Structure 1
């Protein structure tokens, strides 16, 4: 039947799904084991949410189900492309993916910790930064005692590495 003969109230809106964290085309989707487990837990939560949708309004159920399916599709793509990095196989004296790095920035007295993680795991409030972030990029391949500079336009931030750990999950 032509769309011209369909009642306006019968037409469903296409769900708008916010994109997942940016992963550039061609970039490997590195994740920690904890990050992978979080992705699987997120998928399980979506599946449970889909199963728990109320049955009293079929149209609303269908719309909600379509939204969940769209989110699941994006999530399943991330899970399928995930490459788990074994933190025990990383060079323990060098900053690499999965490292928790303790740094002093510029001349501050207090240190800060960042764990370098996958794009879906990144959460600056928890001290987790994406391996693609500018901070992670200047820290990778450095050792304890090294300093590195992050250029932010006219501002330069100097990071001094105090400690590198692969066991301390923030």
Structure 2
């Protein structure tokens, strides 16, 4: 049909949904049990939000529903591809996925702690870094007392593993 026969107010904007945290093509979507629980809770929240949309304006409700459904589709894909890692099965003396690592960084005597988690669970403010991040990759397979060197544009940064715990 020609565009001349379509009323302008019949056109709905396609909702733009922000992508989820980057997970490179072909990379296994590892998650902790806590991370999976967060994904499932997010799903329940979105479903509840969609079901409780106010009926004030039919067009606005349809657009909001489409937006939430698009977010749910991305989330359901993450849930479907998630592989939960049993942290008790990780080598307890080695940095692997799920490890909470205590680090001495450079000449700073202050110990910093980071847990290596899935891409959706990562939150640097909470001390959680993604397993695909450069630092996590650098620390993987290290033991207490090992050091790792991260080459930055302006300097080299040394990370010394002080402790490894699987929460």
What TM-score do the two structures reach when normalised by structure 1?
0.96
Cα distance in 2, alignment partners of residues 82 and 91 from structure 1: 21
Structure 2: runs of 5 or more not aligned: none
Cα distance in 1, alignment partners of residues 20 and 3 from structure 2: 32
Residue of structure 2 equivalent to 1:107? 107
Cα distance in 2, alignment partners of residues 7 and 20 from structure 1: 34
Cα distance in 2, alignment partners of residues 154 and 138 from structure 1: 18
Structure 1: runs of 5 or more not aligned: none
Count of matched residue pairs: 167
Residue of structure 1 equivalent to 2:13? 13
Cα distance in 1, alignment partners of residues 158 and 142 from structure 2: 13
Assess, with a 3 A threshold, how the Cα gap between structure 1 residues 73 and 134 changes in structure 2: closer, same or farther: same
Cα distance in 1, alignment partners of residues 114 and 150 from structure 2: 15
The superposition leaves residues 87-116 of structure 1 with CA deviations (integer Å, 9 ceiling, x where unpaired) of 000000000000000000001010100000
Deviation at 1:125? 0.3
What secondary structure is seen at the aligned counterpart in 2 of 1:88?
helix
What secondary structure is seen at the aligned counterpart in 1 of 2:102?
strand
Cα distance in 1, alignment partners of residues 121 and 4 from structure 2: 46
Cα distance in 1, alignment partners of residues 132 and 46 from structure 2: 27
Residue of structure 2 equivalent to 1:39? 39
Deviation at 1:7? 1.8
What secondary structure is seen at the aligned counterpart in 2 of 1:64?
helix
Two-structure CA RMSD over aligned residues (Å): 0.9
Runs of 4+ residues over 2 Å off in structure 1: 1-4
Residue of structure 2 equivalent to 1:118? 118
Matched, 1:136 2:136: yes
Deviation at 1:56? 2.0
What secondary structure is seen at the aligned counterpart in 2 of 1:50?
helix
What secondary structure is seen at the aligned counterpart in 2 of 1:93?
coil
Matched, 1:26 2:23: no
What TM-score do the two structures reach when normalised by structure 2?
0.97
Cα distance in 1, alignment partners of residues 154 and 88 from structure 2: 38
